Amino acid sequence: MKKQALTSLLQITHPVIMAPMFLVSNTRMVIEGMKSGVAGCIPALNYRTLEELKTAIQELKAAKVSGGSFGFNLIVNKSNVKYKEQLRILCEEKVDFILTSLGSPEETIIEAHKAGIKVFCDVTDLAFAKKVESLGADALVAVNNQAGGHRGNIDPETLIKQLNENTSLPVISAGGVGSKTDLDKMLSFGAVGVSVGSPFIASIESGVSQDYKQACVDYGAKDIVMTERISGTPCTVINTPYVQKVGTKQTWLETLLNKNKSLKKWVKMIRFYIGMKATEKAATQVTYKTVWVAGPSIEDTKAILPVSEIVSKLVK
């Protein structure tokens, strides 16, 4: 069965979503992305208050141009205490699409569909893809083992083919795309489009520190390591001298507490909060504690460029 192309699902010119990145994505990037003919997505958690979230959506709606589209990423598990309110605002303000991650998207799909909003779900394997398909998701975002952030375990080709053969949903591939060649490869494996994050960190419009952007230029794929120190769940970071110094494993205390069933949930929430605060500091301020989240697709990042030029590199 032929699956709907991402360009027609979102009414965009090129089959690319600028992926949601905690602390990195902002409206400036998404507006430039829309002008360049792609979709942009921002984590709802990038906004401290619901009012700020609402203002951002209104700014994007006002700036939307033909060939572009915008959505928001919603963390749908218990670590996101603002989930219900964020979902309400996204539905009231009518964003183009919602991208769910971490947890069951059931309620999000029901509420978003009532508002006429499409829901794409992050998946890392077939079992979860089948679950979100049965819940009514509109597309799968297949997070592979090349992705930046909380990556999956399966290589892009295997994952795309497995999801295509065993579900009827369009597959958007996330991870490892830094060039037009990479994009074409994902399409040839059967993806309807791609979700690209790391290559946009070193964009002029992104709000992170100059040092973080420059690190994405100076370091490459071989410098990416997995750490458990940010949220407890393994996450890709640049192997800076600081990361080498503090190590990438959980502390003995965290490991012990995580083994205790009744404490596990709380430890996870607290660890998540502390980790996010530390990453926020590293991402936005000059600090010797350089914990910079990025994936191997920074390999093709050779300069800090405007979003429009990064999109051009991907599609032309």
Number of residues that bind ligand FMN (CB under 6 A): 26
Contact of 98 with 121, CB cutoff 8 Å:
no
Interaction between residue 311 and ligand FMN (CB under 6 A) = no
The least CB distance from residue 175 to ligand FMN, in Å, is 4
The footprint of ligand FMN on residues 195-254 (CB under 6 A) is: 195-198
Q: Which of 295, 305, 311, 314 binds ligand FMN (CB under 6 A)?
A: 295
The footprint of ligand FMN on residues 16-55 (CB under 6 A) is: 19-22, 24, 43
- Picking from 250, 251, 248, the residue whose alpha carbon sits closest to that of residue 236 is 248
Packing angle between helix 126-135 and helix 106-114, nearest 10 degrees?
A: 40
Interaction between residue 193 and ligand FMN (CB under 6 A) = no
DSSP H/E element including 106: helix 106-114
Residues in the chain: 316
Q: Which of 71, 105, 149, 170 binds ligand FMN (CB under 6 A)?
A: 149
Where does residue 193 rank: exposed (0-12), middle (13-18), buried (19+ CB within 10 A)? buried
Interaction between residue 293 and ligand FMN (CB under 6 A) = yes
Stretch that binds ligand FMN, among 79-87, 190-198, 251-259, 260-268 (CB under 6 A): 190-198
User: How far lies 193's CA from each of 39, 146, 201, 289, in Å?
Assistant: 11, 16, 20, 36
Interaction between residue 143 and ligand FMN (CB under 6 A) = yes
Distance between CA 239 and CA 18 in Å, rounded? 24
Contact of 38 with 17, CB cutoff 8 Å:
yes
Task: CB nearer to ligand FMN: give 175 or 193.
Answer: 175
Residue numbers of the site for ligand FMN (CB under 6 A)? Answer: 19-22, 24, 43, 73, 101, 122, 143, 146-149, 174-177, 195-198, 293-295, 297
